[in-house]
Structure 1
C-alpha cells in the first residue's frame, strides 16, 4: 500500500516554454507520461501509436510506487483504468494523490486523457461525483457522439456512432464547465471534455484482443449476464469491433498531436 504522505513535485521553471518539445528533422516529439492503476490494465494500443509516432513514454505504476514527475517533464498525461473505484481512497490511498496530480496537470494546461477509471478520476478531481451505477456495462455497445462534439477540434474525424468495449460498474457526474460529448444506452456519461485539452473516456478503445482475453479470465460476473452484460465468449466473437475502437483512438490521439504541434508553432520563444 502506498503511503498517502508522498509529495507531488511541481514545476518551478516559470520562464520556460509551456510545452517542452524535442525537434528532430522537423518532427515533434511529445513527452507522454501515463499513470497505471492496475497491473492488468496497460497502455495497449496507445503504446503502438506512441511508438509509431516516435513519442516518449514514461510511467508511474502507483500500485508499486507513487512517484510522479515534475510538471515540466511531460506534455501529455494519460490515466489508465483499473478494478478499483475512484472513491476507494481508504483501500487504495494513492487514489487521492493521483487526483491531486491530475488537478496540477489540468491547472498547468497539460493535455490529459483518462480511460474508464482514469476518466472517473478526472471527473472526481474536477468536482464530479463518482459512484456505483445501477448496473454493470460489459461488452461491445454502441457509442453515439452528440451534436456538441461538432465544434470540438480534438474529436474531428471521429464517427458519429461506433461500437466500443465496456468494462465498468461505476459512473460519474459530468464536472462543472465540462461538456458531455458521447453516450451509450447503458451509461449516459461516456465521453466528456473539459476546456480544450482534457478528455475523459468511459469505454476502452485502447485494449487489444490479448488484453481483453486476459481481463475476461479475472472479471467478476457475480450477477450473471443480464442487462448490459455480455458473456465472455460473445465478447471474443465480436473482436471485429476492435477496428472501430482503433480508428477512434488513433484519430483522437492524432488530433491531440496536431493540436500540440499547432500550439508549439504559435508559441513565441522565450
Structure 2
C-alpha cells in the first residue's frame, strides 16, 4: 500500500491518520510542494492520497501556484477509484476540485466543537460506527459548498459542511480528526503567536476544554482514521 501525502504548510502532520496508516503497513510518499517538491504526474504510482491542511485558503493560486496541478491530480485519483482524504484546507481543495464553491472567511471555529452526523452517515463505511454527535478539534475560517453529487456526512452550527464523500472513497473533512491531544498541544506551542492574536484566551481555557473533550475526540478521530484507511 503506497500512499501519497501532500503537506501544504509547515508543522501539519498526519497525526492519527499516520498511526492508522502505520498499523496497515503503508509506505508513505511525502511531498511538500509549497517547498518545491514536485507532484506526481498522475495517480498511477499510488493507492491513495492524503491532502493535509494549512493556514492559506483554497483559492490562493497566486501564492501557491501548484494548486491547479494538485486539483487535477486529485481528480485523477478519483477517476482511478483510489481513496482520497482531504482534511481542513484539504477538504476545501477537494470541494474546489469537483466544482464546489469556496467561501473565504465567515466560518471561524477554533478548539473542540461538536459536530453532528447526517442520516446518510449512518450507512457510510467511514462514519457509520461513530456517535451521532461528538467533539472534535476545529481550526478554520473558511468553508465551502458541496460539489454536485457529493454526499453530506456531517455539519456544525458554524459550518454546515463538515464532512462529505464523493464516489466510493473520496472524503473531505473540515474538522481536524487527525489532531489528537499530543498534536493539539504541539500546535498550541508551535503556533502560539498566531493563536494568541486570534484567540487570546486559549491558554486559559485549554485545560478545561481538553478535560471535557479530549478523550472522546481522540477516540472518534482514530476510529475515522482507521475506517478511512480500510477503504484503500
Name the TM-score, length of structure 2 as normaliser. Answer: 0.89
2:93 to 104, 109, 121: 121
Please show how residues 69-218 of structure 1 align to structure 2 within 5 Å: 69=40, 70-216=42-188, 217-218=192-193
Q: State the alpha-carbon separation in 1 of the partners of residues 210 and 135 from structure 2.
A: 11
Q: Structure 2 unaligned runs (5+)?
A: none
Q: Work out whether 1:35 is the aligned partner of 2:10.
A: no
Matching residue of 1:245: 217
Deviations 1:53-100 (A, max 9, x none): 322111111122242234221111110000000011112212222212
What is the RMSD of the two structures over their aligned residues, measured on CA atoms? 2.0
Task: Figure out how many residues of one structure are paired with residues of the other and give that number.
Answer: 227
- On the 8 A contact 2:113/2:136 being kept in 1, the answer is yes
**Which protein has the larger Cα radius of gyration, Structure 1 or Structure 2?**
1
Residues 154 and 160 in structure 2, CA contact (< 8 A), matched pair in contact too: yes
Partner of 1:11: none
Query: Unmatched 5+ residue regions in structure 1?
Result: 1-29, 261-270
Q: Matches of 2:18 and 2:2 in 1, distance apart? A: 13
Closer/same/farther in 2, CA of residues 92 and 201 from structure 1, 3 Å limit: same
Q: Which stretches of structure 1, 4 residues or longer, exceed 6 Å deviation after superposition?
A: none
After superposition, give the CA deviation of every residue in 1:144-196 in whole Å (9 maximum; x if it has no partner): 10111122222221221100111000000010000111011121110111112
Q: Secondary structure at the match of 1:134?
A: coil
**Any idea what SS the aligned residue of 1:238 has?**
helix
Is the 1:66–1:94 contact (alpha carbons within 8 Å) kept by the matching residues of 2? no
Checking the alignment, whether the CA contact within 8 Å between 1:117 and 1:202 is kept in structure 2 is yes
From the two aligned structures, give the one with the greater helix fraction. Answer: 2
